[in-house]
Each structure stands twice: as C-alpha cells, then as structure tokens.
Amino acid sequence: MPGTANSIITPQTIKSSNAVTVTANTTYTDAPTNTAVLWTAGVNGDRITKLTSLARATLTATELQLFRSSDGGTTKRFFGSLTYAAFTQVQNARNPTADWPYSESNPLTLGPNEILYVAQGVTLAAGIVHVAEGCAF
C-alpha cells in the first residue's frame, strides 16, 4: 500500500532475489543487451543491503554491471561496475565471491517500482549467480 505523505515508512518485508547471467553485455547505452532482472521494488521503494555474485565455473576476469530502470525496463541506466577477478574452479577450494559495496550502513535504495538489472562483460556458459538481500517499504 502506498505510504502517506510526511509519514515515516519503515521496512515492512524482508526480501531476497537471485538471477543468473550467461552472455556478455557490451552495450552501456540505455538499451543494453543480455541483462537479467535481479530485483523489482514495491510501491514504496526498496532497500538492498547485500549484493553478491558467484561464478559457477572457471572464470576469466570480467566486469559485473548494474543497471536500473524507473520506467518498467524501457530505459536501463548503467550505474555500477565491479571487477570479478579470474579464478580456476576446483573442488578442494571455495569459489571467490564478488561483493558489491552495499550494506546496512551503505544501502542501495530503489524508488517505487524501480527495477535492478545485472549483466556481465565476458560470456560464461555455466553462468554467474547474483543474489540480493534487503527489504521492502
């Protein structure tokens, strides 16, 4: 339900979401290709406090990308980039996680009905799993 003007709106629902990207995105305009929806905010907006990415296979260094849309996905604005270092997947060591710099003290705030998209710069057939945690207002 929409909030009332001049009223404090506290988090109402804990949320989490995930998406998998496979194919490289090399377009940084307002119409990128090969993006995946990671999060759709509710009518009062949402706050993301944790965002991680984990490759499911040996990885060549790649750029992870964030886009946001406030018009239902017609326009996707590039606003975040993170380097995911190369590694070789083995069964006797953990895969490194790419951690975005969002936290309780530095959240990513999404406006009402805003959509968060993820993408990657290098194709990885096994894909990269992106996970977001936060709350809805």
Distance separating alpha carbons of residues 28 and 19, to the nearest angstrom: 20
Distance separating alpha carbons of residues 112 and 127, to the nearest angstrom: 29
pLDDT for the residue numbered 2: 62
Contacts of 89 (CB under 8 A, 6+ apart): 55, 56, 57, 58, 59, 95
Distance separating alpha carbons of residues 115 and 88, to the nearest angstrom: 32
Burial class of residue 48, CB neighbours in 10 A (0-12, 13-18, 19+): buried
Provide the CATH topology of domain 13-136: Jelly Rolls (2.60.120)
pTM: 0.92
* Mean pLDDT value across the chain: 94
Distance separating alpha carbons of residues 130 and 37, to the nearest angstrom: 10
pLDDT category at 3 given cuts 50, 70, 90 is low
pLDDT for the residue numbered 14: 94
pLDDT category at 137 given cuts 50, 70, 90 is confident
pLDDT category at 63 given cuts 50, 70, 90 is very high
**Could you read off the pLDDT of 67-126 as tens digits, one per residue?**
999 999 999 999 999 999 999 999 999 999 999 999 999 999 999 999 999 999 999 999
pLDDT for the residue numbered 1: 57
**Could you read off the pLDDT of 6-59 as tens digits, one per residue?**
666 676 789 999 999 999 999 999 999 999 999 999 999 999 999 999 999 999
Q: Is the pLDDT of residue 5 over 90?
A: no
Domain borders along the chain are 13-136
Is 129 in contact with 74 (CB distance < 8 Å)? no
